Amino acid sequence: MKPRVSHKGILLLLVSGLAAALALAAVSGRVSLSLADILTLTRKLVAGGGDGLAELLPNEQVFLWIRLPRCFMAVLAGAGLAVSGAVYQALFRNPLVSPDILGVSAGCTFGAALGLMLPLSGFGTVHLLSFGCGILAVGLTAGLARIIAVKPLIVLVLAGMVVLSFFNALLMVVKYFADPYNQLPGIIFWVMGSLTRVTWTNTLFMAPFALAGLGVFILLGFRLNILSLGDIQARSLGLNPTLFRRVLIVISSFLVAISVSTCGQIAWIGLIIPHMARTLTGPAHEKMLPVTALLGALFLLLADTAARSLFSSEIPVGIITALTGAPIFAFLLFKNRGTGWI
Amino acid sequence: MDIALECRNLCFGYGSKAVLSDLSFEVGKGRFYAILGRNGSGKTTLLHCLNRILVPDSGTILVQGRDIRTLSRNGIAKCIGLVPQEHMDIFPFSVLDVVVMGRTPFLGMTERPGERDRDMAMDALSALNAEYLAHRNFNRISGGERRIALLARALTQATGVMLLDEPTNHLDFNNQYRLLATIKSLCRKKDISIVASMHDPNMAALFADAVIMIRDGKVMAKGPARKVMIRENINALYNTDVTPVSLNGNATLFFPDTVVREVP
């Protein structure tokens, strides 16, 4: 049971890995830019202040206005999705759930697509609708599972499937009515998951919420262990599980919504990253959540870098995460068979 | 006798179905109380009412003289520990992780257990001669060891009253006796009041100081084990006919008549 590498060692390793990945992401892409160029740019900006912005070379502009916010968003969204997956798994006492499986992502996607299509809806409406539908979806899933009330582990997954299909159907309705020239291509590309729409505006809008959500979860890590024991034991240990669960579900659905409404549906991160983190540090959430956040950030950053630099034209990052995530999950299922994992 | 836990006129029902009606009893400090009753007679419900996991419809529960309604959930958890019936974790926590969870009511909202809390958890494990379990996976140890680990958690949590829900369930022959002997010695050494629901009257006869018999949601009989554990009561409680068998004149065990008659 004692890990070979200490917890601090793992964190240090992941932080340096993330720094290296950020450096890699900064220099990859169709517009070439070396690390030395970035240093020159930084010096220029620091020395010139606001004036420095006016005299940028084209490749420096690409880096500053497109690549950099995109890298930060990948870090935020990756960490947010992974941690919300881990929190759902603890709250529902089920290692098989994730924002995708509970229908939260589908709900958020529908809400955001609706927001994009409605006339006169701005930035805030898209986020708000996405969040509202995400909460509605997880509420429906949990409610349905509660009414059925047998074999909780499997029924929750099945209830999620019902809700997910329903919201996917609603999404199809939105697609059907969308303007095929102006709106449809955008919606489709975005449903597949992509960070192409990311700008400093939405990154800076999302950052405080995402960081606050992550902070709350990491602070409440130990309480999540208690909640994962189930209601009776949580109560006997002095915790009010109903209140906690509601608050935590709202926060994690919010994390998913802000990620989905800017980056679309990026599947699998919320399911596999928590499992990988648990393998590294054990199940205690106070240790496992920071590792989950870093792993999620690293995974999405690398996937996005691959998505925009592997081929001559960019492919949706959701394809990369699904192509790598599905086999990894299949491997985890195989490796953990018979350990009481499912 | 000091009273650790008192239950006055407790009534509880699920919806319109009454489960417990007008239950009253007192649990003395450092005493081992067994609750006997048939399957579905409301033993678990009663235990859950005693530490307000379930909220009774009416009646009063006093812990160390204080009305439980005036205590916060945390406050109750500091006085009363619970060892649940069967427990399999979803996540593979180590035994030490599980035991240290007993410190939860003493920690702040965002606090996590520190060195001191882990030391207390280790002390609880060593009081039960189970330090060797500390770094094992809770899901991979035997049922008896799991029960010991949960007992250690309750010991880390509260040393006033401990509620045990069928502590010997799913344990093998030898383990049942060993566990109950351990619990009894805890009760004596640390002055802990134990309330345990049990389904084997002979176990209660061997280990309990006092017995509370519950039938149809009411107290059928209560009092010192020697006085309550008599043929008539056992017959009425389980709706059967039993033959008492004396064990060296110390305790009396009971076996169904049919068995006693038919065994050659």
Across-strand partners of B245? B253
Can you give the length of chain B in residues? 264
Segment A225-283, tens digit of pLDDT: 999 998 899 999 999 988 998 899 889 988 998 888 888 889 899 999 999 998 889 89
> Pairing mode, if any, of strands B161-165 and B80-83?
parallel
Place of tokens 């409680």: B237
Question: Which residue of chain A has the CA closest to B49?
Answer: A236
> Tokens for B221?
């009989």
Measured in whole angstroms, the distance separating CA B77 from the mean position of its chain's CA atoms is 15
The HSE-up count of residue A186 (CA atoms within 13 Å, CB side) is 15
Across A263-288, b (16+ Cβ under 10 Å) vs e yields: bbbbbbbbbbbbbbbbebbbbbbbbb
Q: Note the helical H segments in B51-94.
A: 73-79
Is residue B196 left, alpha or beta, with left meaning phi > 0 and alpha meaning psi from -120 to 50?
Answer: beta
Can you give the length of chain A in residues? 342
Helices A68-91 and A200-219 pack at an angle, to 10 degrees, of: 30
What gap in Å lies between CA B172 and CA B13, rounded to an integer? 34
Q: Is the pLDDT of residue B215 over 50?
A: yes
Q: If we measure between CA atoms, which residue out of B216, B249, B209 comes closest to residue B31? A: B209
Q: Note the helical H segments in chain A.
A: 7-27, 35-48, 58-62, 68-91, 104-117, 123-148, 152-177, 184-191, 200-219, 221-227, 231-236, 241-263, 269-281, 285-309, 317-335
ipTM: 0.91
Q: Which range scores top for mean pLDDT: A2-6, A193-197, B160-164?
A: B160-164
Segment A104-136, tens digit of pLDDT: 999 999 998 888 888 766 777 888 888 899 999
Q: Is the pLDDT of residue A51 over 70?
A: no
Strand order across the B58-63 sheet: B17-28, B3-14, B58-63, B66-67
Q: Is the pLDDT of residue A341 over 70?
A: no
- pLDDT, position A78: 95
Q: Is the pLDDT of residue A49 over 70?
A: no
Q: What is the DSSP letter of A178?
A: S
Q: Does A279 touch chain B (CB under 8 A)?
A: no
What gap in Å lies between CA A70 and CA A216, rounded to an integer? 24
Question: Which residue of chain A has the CA closest to B163?
Answer: A236
Q: Is the pLDDT of residue B87 over 80?
A: no
What gap in Å lies between CA A83 and CA A61, rounded to an integer? 33
Q: Is the pLDDT of residue B33 over 60?
A: yes
Q: Does A284 touch chain B (CB under 8 A)?
A: yes
Burial class (CB in 10 A: 0-12, 13-18, 19+), B262: exposed
Between A42 and A304, the more confident residue is A304
Contact A233 B113 (CB under 8 A): no
Percent of chain A predicted with pLDDT > 90:
46
Kindly indicate the confidence band of residue A196, based on its pLDDT and cuts at 50, 70 and 90.
confident
Longest dimension (CA), chain B: 65
- pLDDT, position B15: 83
- pLDDT, position A340: 57
Q: Is-contact A113 A130, C-beta < 8 A?
A: no
Contact A222 B113 (CB under 8 A): yes
User: Interior CA angle at B16 toward B12 and B18, to 5°?
Assistant: 40
Over residues B81-105, the mean pLDDT reads 88
Over residues A28-45, the mean pLDDT reads 83
- pLDDT, position A1: 45
Q: Which helix (H) or strand (E) holds B20?
A: strand B17-28
> Tokens for A117?
């299509």
- pLDDT, position A218: 93
Residues on chain A touching B149 (C-beta within 8 angstroms) = none
Over residues B14-43, the mean pLDDT reads 91
Q: Is-contact A110 A170, C-beta < 8 A?
A: yes
Question: Which residue of chain A has the CA closest to B75?
Answer: A238
Q: Is-contact A145 A156, C-beta < 8 A?
A: yes
Residues on chain B touching A219 (C-beta within 8 angstroms) = 110
> Tokens for B88?
């399999």
Identity of the residue in A1, A95, A340 whose CB atom sits nearest the CB atom of B94 = A1
Across-strand partners of B34? B196, B211
What gap in Å lies between CA B96 and CA B102, rounded to an integer? 10
> Tokens for A188?
């489709």
Reported pTM: 0.90
